[in-house]
A and B are shown apart, each in its own frame.
Chain A
Amino acid sequence: KAGVTQTPRYLIKTRGQQVTLSCSPISGHRSVSWYQQTPGQGLQFLFEYFSETQRNKGNFPGRFSGRQFSNSRSEMNVSTLELGDSALYLCASSTPGLAGGDTQYFGPGTRLTVL
């Protein structure tokens, strides 16, 4: 099976702009979670989508949003970018509810740089 894919891999934006990141989960996986990794805060949970519905949300401002499509692909959007949003954004997919399905498998990430 192909792994989790994320596009684009690298992105440079300026403050105030908005950005959309995309994630395609492993085939058959219905849950997609997003994480932010920064040197200061480590890996932090953003939100999780399952069957096109947001099920869990982390402690991030409303500028961070996401959605999931019927084919389980997911996008996350960050509006009004700030310098502190520079990070590696990771997507993970899983099959909760199935035996062994709680393990999340991560994509390669999108490196966002805000200037």
Chain B
Amino acid sequence: DQQVKQNSPSLSVQEGRISILNCDYTNSMFDYFLWYKKYPAEGPTFLISISSIKDKNEDGRFTVFLNKSAKHLSLHIVPSQPGDSAVYFCAASGFQGAQKLVFGQGTRLTINP
């Protein structure tokens, strides 16, 4: 049973435009959500997080939106840059100890010049 789902395996966006990555979860006990960026053979790099008491968190070009009723979160990257090309993972935690992250399968983002 996959509790965190990223239904789009890949996404291609033109440089300068907005990239929107989506993530759905099934367990309502999750209360902390994170987005990570990952290059092959490297560890995930933390991008941005959001607590369940908020519906939006912004950090520079990155904004995460949380819709608790729909159990959905999204990551917006504006404007998209070539260096943003990577695999993006959403992760959730909260119900079995905050340090146990449950990851989605990832979305490969490609930014085209």
Contacts and interface: CB of A to CB of B under 8 A. Distances in A.
Interface of A: 4, 6, 31, 33, 35, 42-45, 48, 50, 55-56, 58, 88, 90, 92, 94, 96, 102-109, 111
A58 B43 contact: no
Contact of B99 (A4, A6, A96, A107): A96
B41 A33 contact: no
Interface in B44-101: 44-46, 49, 89, 91, 93, 96-101
Given A42-B106, A102-B32, A103-B34, A94 B42 contact: no
Given A42-B104, A43-B89, 5 more contacts: A50-B99, A56-B96, A102-B99, A105-B46, A106-B45
B25 interface: no
A43 B93 CA distance: 14
For chain B, the bracket of interface size reads 20 to 34
A90 B91 CA distance: 15
B103 A42 contact: yes
A29 B9 CA distance: 33
23 contacts: A6-B43, A31-B99, A33-B99, A33-B100, A42-B103, A42-B105, A42-B106, A43-B91, A43-B101, A48-B99, A50-B99, A55-B97, A55-B99, A90-B43, A102-B98, A103-B46, A103-B49, A104-B34, A104-B46, A104-B101, A106-B44, A106-B46, A111-B41
